Amino acid sequence: MKNIKAIIFDAYGTLFDVNSAAEKCKNKIGNKWEFFANYWRTTQLEYTWLRSLMNRHKNFWQITEDSLDKSMKVYEIDKSMKDELLNLYKVLSTFNEVPEVLKNLKKKKFKLAILSNGTPTLLNELVKTNKLNNIFDDIFSIEEVGIYKPNSKVYDMPIKKYNINKNEVAFLSANTWDISGGGNYGYNCIWVNRNNNVFDNLDYIPKYEIKNLNQLLEIFN
Summarize pLDDT for 93-127 with one digit per residue, the tens: 999 999 999 999 999 989 999 999 999 999 999 99
**pLDDT at 221 exceeding the cut of 90:** no
What are the sequence ranges of the domains in the chain? 6-17+94-219, 20-89
Closest by alpha carbon to 61, among 22, 117, 14, 132?
Answer: 117
Which residues form the catalytic set? 10
Task: For 6-39, write each residue's pLDDT tens digit.
Answer: 999 999 999 999 999 999 999 999 999 999 999 9
Specify the pLDDT at position 34: 96
Q: Which carries the bigger pLDDT value, residue 56 or residue 2? A: 56
Q: What is the pTM of this model?
A: 0.96
**pLDDT at 2 exceeding the cut of 90:** no
**pLDDT at 198 exceeding the cut of 90:** yes
Query: CATH homologous superfamily for 20-89?
Result: Putative phosphatase; domain 2 (1.10.150.240)
Closest by alpha carbon to 9, among 87, 86, 95, 68?
Answer: 95
Residue 87 backbone dihedrals phi, psi, to 5 degrees: -65, -35
Beta bridge partners of 111: 6
Q: What is the largest CA-CA distance in the chain?
A: 52
Rounded CA separation 32/11 (Å): 25
Please name the fold of domain 6-17+94-219.
Rossmann fold (3.40.50)
Specify the pLDDT at position 109: 86
Residues 6 or more apart whose CB falls under 8 angstroms from that of 20 comprise 88, 92, 93
